[in-house]
Chain A
């Protein structure tokens, strides 16, 4: 079946511009996560959605970052007034149940964001 998809695969933007990154999770998965991976850095948790519960935003690095999940499916991560330090690969993952099935998260291929 289809896995997690993300778009665009690559995004180049100028400092100060806003960007939107999209994630299509696996159909039926109730939990959705965003992570990012900067060059030479490990994977960093950003935000987590589970069903109709309030999202866990504890990993968002600043108020320039926001995310929404519409209809319990597709999610959009928005970065306002991008900075060069926002350059990274942004990864989306989904799972069947939060904490269920051994927390087996299925990751998408990521969006590589470059801020000039």
Chain B
């Protein structure tokens, strides 16, 4: 599975957009990009995933570069509750191929008032 590189920490002002980058230069053609977050003392929470097209849901947007070597998770209007560690993970989405997630160190996002 491809590895990812994320900045260890970022700050964001409340109400502003938080843009979290992720590099995955060794991603292969059948691998998706997933984002999870972990709020302190809780289990991880799924946010969004994508293959090559940009994706948006009620939580966030995911922008994947055309060469798929990097992506950005966008929280459009960050709140204090978005303070968490954000994990970018790449992995396959094939039924019965094993769905284990390989977590890196993630980005610790601090949203400040």
- Chain A residues packing against B (C-beta within 8 Å): 4, 31, 33, 35, 42-45, 48, 50, 53, 56, 59, 91, 93, 95, 97-100, 102-110
Question: Bound state CA distance, A4 and B101, in angstroms?
Answer: 17
Chain B 24-56 interface mask (CB, 8 Å, partner A; 1/0): 000000001010001000111110010000000
Nearest 9 pairs of A and B residues by beta carbon:
A107-B43, A43-B103, A102-B49, A104-B46, A98-B99, A45-B100, A42-B103, A103-B99, A99-B99
- Chain B residues packing against A (C-beta within 8 Å): 32, 34, 38, 42-46, 49, 87, 91-106
Q: For B104, what are the chain A residues with a Cβ–Cβ distance below 8 Å? A: 42
Main secondary structure of the interface of B (DSSP, over half): loop
Question: Bound state CA distance, A93 and B99, in angstroms?
Answer: 11
Given A45-B101, A99-B94, 4 more A-B residue pairs with CB atoms under 8 Å apart are: A42-B105, A50-B98, A107-B45, A110-B43
Q: For A91, what are the chain B residues with a Cβ–Cβ distance below 8 Å? A: 43-44
Q: List 15 A-B contacts (CB under 8 A).
A: A4-B43, A33-B101, A35-B103, A42-B103, A42-B106, A43-B38, A43-B44, A45-B100, A53-B96, A97-B95, A98-B97, A99-B93, A99-B96, A99-B97, A107-B43
Q: Find out whether the CB atom of B42 lies under 8 angstroms from the CB atom of A50.
A: no
A33/B99 contact (C-beta < 8 A), A102-B49, A103-B49 known: yes
Q: For B98, what are the chain A residues with a Cβ–Cβ distance below 8 Å? A: 48, 50, 56, 98-99
How many contacting A-B pairs (Cβ < 8 A)? Answer: 78
Contact of B96 among A50, A59, A110 (CB under 8 A): A50
Q: Which residue of A lies closest to B98 (CB)?
A: A56
Q: Which residue of A lies closest to B95 (CB)?
A: A99
Question: Bound state CA distance, A93 and B93, in angstroms?
Answer: 17
Q: For B87, what are the chain A residues with a Cβ–Cβ distance below 8 Å? A: 43
Question: Bound state CA distance, A50 and B100, in angstroms?
Answer: 11
Most chain-A CB neighbours within 10 Å: which of B34, B87, B93, B101?
Answer: B101
